[in-house]
Amino acid sequence: MRDIINTKNFESYLFYFLILLHIAYVFSLPVFLTQDGPSHLYNSKIFLDYIFNENNQLFNQFFELNSNIIPNYLHSLILCILLFFFNPFIAEKIIIALLIISMPLAFRFIMKKHNSSATFLSYPIFIFSNSYFLFYGFFNFQLSITILILFIGKLIDYRDNLDYKNSFKLFFILTLLFFTHPVGYIIAVVVLLLEILLIIYNNNSVPLEIEKITSYLLVIFPTLLLFIQFFVSANKSGSELINISISKNALLRLIDMNHLIVFSQNEEIIYFLLFMVVLLNLLNTIFGKIVKKRNGFNKVMLMAIVFNIFVYFFINDKLAGGAYLNNRISIYIYIFTLLFIGLRVRRFTYKQLTILVSTLIIIYSVIIRYPIQKKISTITEDYLQTIELIPNNSILLPLSLNNYGLWDSRLLSPNLAIFKHISGYLGATKSIISMDNYEANTGHFPIAWKDDVNPYNFLSTNKGAGIESNHPSVDIEGYNNRIDNKIDYVLIWGDKESSHYNERISAQLINYKLINESLQKGLWQLYIHNQ
């Protein structure tokens, strides 16, 4: 086995086999459901409508384009392009497949260029590209990791030849990062600033170094002004920047990576073995044969790792309207560590072991997740029957009692509210107004609710969270009296025998009548307004 894996062609064939495996894995499911994915599709559909159909009176009544410059655009533009050519479900699968495979491909590309003996380190990257954040539907965040890896690769390429042309290329990639995700963007800026600090520290040729520093600052400056404007406006609540969280739990979470588990604790072994793979290669870096120094860039990478560790432990987890900052940063810690290892070491002691273990846990993750996803997909298909029952130009209120997928007294997705935004599929397929469009309420996406009809302000009765809550709390008639039209349909997702259904929802449906329901345990009920 050792000799086989040592064969360069075999290693390449195995890597591309894993690429094809993930593509087949995504496209084999009728629906590849993620928590936020349907909402991304819906809002991209609205965005397309604004581009090609300015006279859509229904959309214009409720939505407007976000006038703010926000670092959260790229995935919406990609989805718009895909939706122009494909139906929503195919478009979603294409972008999910790209998100899974682009990260290891980008990492492998960098290693192939700068240390071909380290290409095998692209195998563990599959685990990060197919983790909790993908299934949460954090498309922009996932995409930003890929772009940041490519940015670092280009920075290595250009740092000894930073002319105007190469400076512009770095500026372009950095701008792309800004419009993808703020976390990836600010880490890229920090890497550039660390590079500047290293230049100052190793100041040997003043005129040349000043020119280089100026070039880096010009790369950073325009987008940094945009970021500051975004941060100030998004952090209106005044969230504290520093929040010391060094604790046993925080440290254990960084080591066991349980926050990346998608569906069940059976996945614990995946992240334990992943940690061991990274640790063994890090030990090899400390005690192994290093590459000839590359103008100190290894120092930049090491300082970047220290910066990310600092952010993980000391920066507020919820900042500028975002969330899960610490968990997001944990991924960067590991990926930067693998980049540092790959750029530094020439002779790897654990190469074969890394390939073998990584391949096994990749295949294991697909095997244990697939049956759960198959069940989720089947349930989703049942929900999608309602598409044919709701006509275009309708106003729909989806309410959920089953965010986590209760099935046969078990939760299909206890770690993830996988069905929370499933109604986005309806809006992505039909021209309808869906009242649970959470993205339009955040201010972080291209589409926004108009202030005077925002259902999160006037329909929800629980500080704006009642619509999305697993136990919904809304004032339907109060909202109907506010808008020109009435909510045409109410779609209940969950068992109608639930006590929450009876207590919270029934009283809200006095002016609605049941017109259809699922044959599967009453998983959905569709009501129409009497008028």
Residue extents of the structural domains in the chain: 66-236+246-349, 378-529
Angle separating helix axes 182-201 and 139-158, nearest 10 degrees: 20
Alpha-carbon dihedral 133, 136, 141, 145, rounded to 10 degrees:
30
E-assigned strands of 436-517? 447-449, 489-493, 512-517
Predicted local confidence at residue 348, as pLDDT: 81
Q: Using the 8-state DSSP alphabet, how is residue 520 labeled?
A: T
Mean pLDDT per 10-residue section of the chain, whose length is 531 residues: 61 93 95 93 89 73 84 87 92 95 95 89 94 92 94 89 86 92 91 88 66 84 84 59 60 84 88 91 77 64 89 71 76 93 82 93 94 91 91 90 75 85 92 90 87 89 76 86 86 74 76 86 84 75
Q: Report the alpha-carbon distance of residue 95 to residue 64 in Å, rounded.
A: 25
Strand, coil or helix: 444: coil
Q: Report the alpha-carbon distance of residue 337 to residue 304 in Å, rounded.
A: 9
Q: Residue 46 — φ and ψ, nearest 5°?
A: -65, -45
Other Cβ atoms closer than 10 A to 480: 17
Beta pairing partners, 449: 63
Predicted local confidence at residue 298, as pLDDT: 81
Query: Alpha helices, DSSP H only, in 115-163?
Result: 122-129, 132-136, 139-158
Identify whether the C-beta of residue 92 lies closer than 8 Å to the C-beta of residue 53: no
Identify whether the C-beta of residue 89 lies closer than 8 Å to the C-beta of residue 31: yes
Predicted local confidence at residue 54, as pLDDT: 57
pTM of the model: 0.90
Predicted local confidence at residue 8, as pLDDT: 64
> Cα–Cα–Cα angle for 466, 472, 474, nearest 5°?
60
Q: Report the alpha-carbon distance of residue 402 to residue 424 in Å, rounded.
A: 15
Give the pairing of strands 395-400 and 433-434: parallel
Predicted local confidence at residue 523, as pLDDT: 82
The residue type found at 384 is L
Predicted local confidence at residue 42, as pLDDT: 94
Q: Report the alpha-carbon distance of residue 405 to residue 420 in Å, rounded.
A: 9
Predicted local confidence at residue 408, as pLDDT: 64
E-assigned strands of 429-509? 433-434, 447-449, 489-493
Taken in order 10, 11, 12, 18, the sign of the CA dihedral is positive
Q: Report the alpha-carbon distance of residue 170 to residue 187 in Å, rounded.
A: 14
Hey, what are 183's tokens? 């976390």
271 exposure class (CB count in 10 Å sphere: 0-12, 13-18, 19+): buried
HEC letters along 270-320: HHHHHHHHHHHHHHHHHHCCECCCCCCHHHHHHHHHHHHHHHHHHECCCCC
Identify whether the C-beta of residue 528 lies closer than 8 Å to the C-beta of residue 515: yes
Other Cβ atoms closer than 10 A to 315: 17
Beta pairing partners, 407: 410
Predicted local confidence at residue 191, as pLDDT: 93
Q: Report the alpha-carbon distance of residue 191 to residue 340 in Å, rounded.
A: 13
Q: Residue 446 — φ and ψ, nearest 5°?
A: -60, -30
Identify whether the C-beta of residue 179 lies closer than 8 Å to the C-beta of residue 75: no
E-assigned strands of 374-430? 395-400, 406-407, 410-411
Beta pairing partners, 400: 493
Q: Report the alpha-carbon distance of residue 61 to residue 410 in Å, rounded.
A: 41
